[in-house]
Amino acid sequence: MEGMPTIDTAKTANSGSDDREEPARVMGASLQNLQNTRLLDFSYSSPGVSKYRPHRSDRCYRLTAVCLGLLCVFLLAVIIVLCVCFNNLTRERDQLQIRYNNLTAERDQLLKERQKYQNVFSELGWIYFSHSLYYISTEWKSWSESRQDCTDRGADLVIINSEEEQEFVNSLWKLSQSGLWIGLTDRDTEAVWKWVDGTALSTGYWGEGEPNNSGQSGNEDCVVLDWPDTWNDIPEGEMPGGEDAKNSSGEIALKASTSVGLTKAKPPAVMEKALKRHYRL
């Protein structure tokens, strides 16, 4: 009939076929999802099988976090130890600095006191050298009298223990330009030379051919420094130079050099006696 729409049966048939295929595809997908869900549920509910299996990267992250935490704790402990050590060392350094300052001040004070005593004893005729005081008598005396004068001053005739001291005594000889008695003798045993403190002679600075015990009386038991670097044994009653060296009583006179050690704890007897003699205390 005219005017009536025509129906494309082929298209309709195809459309019906498509409508039937679409539910089939949906049902197929749903069935596949259902099977996957069952398999997953089975794997979770199966005995002995963990419900959650973390990935390997998760375990690495956890291990890294633990290591970093331990490292932070270790670094914190190291920092604390270093801070404690630094504070202790700083405190010790400050204490050492205080002790150093105190010792420096004490040293300076001792140097001032030593210089003061040196000036005083220099005025009294004493000469300081290597922790000892030396004195040259202004009176001509024999060896025994010179030694007695030394002991009265709290000292004794000089004992030369080193080459440096020998050189110093030589300088004293140059100042006096006369023979100097030294504290060496063999009066107890001939040819056995001993110092006045009883110690045996170990190193001597004898002149050529000395000691020879060749005086007129043959009793050359005392030693005099009558030329730089040379010792000479002579009798106590004789002296190089003959009659010109004798005083009015005919007794040999030599200037005596004395020495005494210095102490810090208490002034030695020579200092006390020298001050008393000078100030008439």
- Alpha-carbon distance of 267 to 85, in angstroms, equals 46
In this prediction the pTM is 0.53
User: 166: alpha, beta or left, given left = phi > 0 and alpha = psi -120 to 50?
Assistant: alpha
Domain 128-257+269-279, architecture per CATH: Roll (3.10)
Sequence ranges of the domains in the chain: 60-124, 128-257+269-279
Instruction: Assess contact for 159 and 264: CB atoms under 8 A.
Output: no
| Neighbouring C-alpha atoms within 13 Å toward the C-beta of 31 | 6
Phi, psi angles (nearest 5°) of residue 252: -65, 140
Instruction: Assess contact for 180 and 136: CB atoms under 8 A.
Output: yes
- Alpha-carbon distance of 174 to 227, in angstroms, equals 9
Alpha-helical runs (H) found in the chain: 9-45, 56-123, 143-152, 163-176, 269-279
DSSP per-residue string spanning 235-251: -TT--TTGGGGB-TTS-
Q: Tokens 């604390």 appear where?
A: 80
**Helix or strand (DSSP H, E) at 257:** strand 255-261
pLDDT in tens, the chain (281 residues): 444 444 454 444 444 445 555 555 544 555 555 455 554 444 444 454 445 555 667 788 888 889 999 999 999 999 999 999 999 999 999 999 999 999 999 999 999 988 888 788 788 878 888 878 888 887 778 888 888 888 888 888 888 888 898 888 888 877 776 778 889 998 888 889 999 989 999 888 888 888 887 765 667 888 888 776 788 888 876 554 444 443 333 344 455 554 433 222 234 555 556 555 555 54
